[in-house]
Amino acid sequence: MRNAVRKLRATTDKTEAAALYPKVTKMLDKLAKTNVIHKNKASNLKSKLAIYINKLA
């Protein structure tokens, strides 16, 4: 999980980041569903990643 989030945050290309985003969110949702991470933690990560992607030029 951490590596996928790091990889997405390290991406500077908006199209590449937008392509990775659904895969990362799906993984976060699965981890939250199985109680590996808290559901609010998954939600916060998804929100911050979406904001990051929207800020990319």
Mean pLDDT, consecutive 10-residue stretches, the chain (57 aa), reads: 96 96 97 97 97 94
Q: Would you kindly state where each structural domain of the chain is located, as residue ranges?
A: 2-55
| CA distances to 19, 33, 46 from 40, in Å | 23, 11, 10
pLDDT (0 to 100) of residue 57? 82
How many Cα atoms are found within 13 Å in the side-chain-facing hemisphere of 56? 16
Whats the size of the chain, residue-wise? 57
pTM (2 d.p.) = 0.91
Non-local (6+) Cβ contacts of 32 within 8 A are: 38, 39, 41, 42, 43
Q: What is the pLDDT at residue 20?
A: 96
In three-state secondary structure terms, 48 is helix
